[in-house]
Amino acid sequence: MTSTGDRTTKNPTEANEMERWASLIGGGAMVLTGLSQRSLKGVLTALAGGGLVYQGLTKQSTIQQAQDAIGINKPIKVEKTVTINKPADELYRFWHNFEQLPTFMKHLQSVKVYDAKRSHWIASAPLGNNVAWDAEILEDRENEFISWASVEGAEIENSGFVRFKKAPGDRGTEVKVVLEYNIPGGGLSAALAKLFGEEPEQQIGDDLRRFKMLMEAGEIATTEGQPTGSR
């Protein structure tokens, strides 16, 4: 520690050491708090805290670098597109009946529509948990586009849109889905989720493949026990 007149400053080594201990203490507190909550948010908070502890142990120079390294400050964004040999209006009508979405969205347990704008969603989550939230439609263009966002206070903030666009060469309709999740742990949680087969990008890709099968063939083929490549 050095002194300049009445002002006392810390040298870089001392400052880094204080930040390292802040990571260790703050991360440990997040782990304890998360584990005590016994909920999905608690699990993810604990994971984020574990990441901070790890960064502290490996002597990262700043707390912000540690947070960025494990993805705490980064929302998870997923984009997937599938071409379905059906007209846009038919696909739009099916999708817009949100209570039908669990038919092909494997991790979605239920959707209850309150009114033309608002609905309640319950989804499965890693580690045997589930998560629920209310969502509100932001924009709705018939046969073209639907966007939505979770309302304030959702345990996991999320937003997204689905777009229905005529495919080139009269090959049907391109269905594009974009989702963004803002959850405790950010990229760290997504990385851990891969270990449990719950990675968001894989989920959405599989959901769209099932949607394609359902709309084109009228049913979803059973693929349990078959190689992934057979889908």
- List the structure tokens of 89: 């209006």
- CB-neighbour burial class of residue 173 (10 A; exposed 0-12, middle 13-18, buried 19+): buried
State the pLDDT at residue 164.
98
Average pLDDT, the chain: 74
- List the structure tokens of 223: 């693929």
State the pLDDT at residue 35.
54
Which of 44-48, 127-131, 177-181 tops mean pLDDT?
A: 177-181
| Percent of the chain at pLDDT exceeding 70 | 56
Q: How far apart are CA 33 and CA 231, in angstroms?
A: 42
Between residues 146 and 19, the one the model is more confident about: 146
The domain ranges of the chain are 16-57, 76-217
- CB-neighbour burial class of residue 157 (10 A; exposed 0-12, middle 13-18, buried 19+): middle
Residues 6+ apart with CB under 8 A from 60: 20, 23, 66, 69
Output the pTM of the full model: 0.64
Q: How far apart are CA 49 and CA 144, in angstroms?
A: 42
Q: Would you place residue 23 in the very low, low, confident or very high pLDDT band (cuts 50, 70, 90)?
A: low
Q: How far apart are CA 3 and CA 129, in angstroms?
A: 53
State the pLDDT at residue 217.
94
3-state secondary structure of 192: helix
Kind and range of the H or E run holding 157: strand 157-166
Q: How far apart are CA 186 and CA 69, in angstroms?
A: 11
Pick among 2.60.40.1260, 3.30.530.20, 3.30.300.20, 3.50.30.50: CATH of 76-217: 3.30.530.20
Q: Nearest to residue 82, comparing CAs of 176, 206, 180? A: 176
Averaged pLDDT, 26-39: 58
State the pLDDT at residue 173.
97
Q: Would you place residue 20 in the very low, low, confident or very high pLDDT band (cuts 50, 70, 90)?
A: low
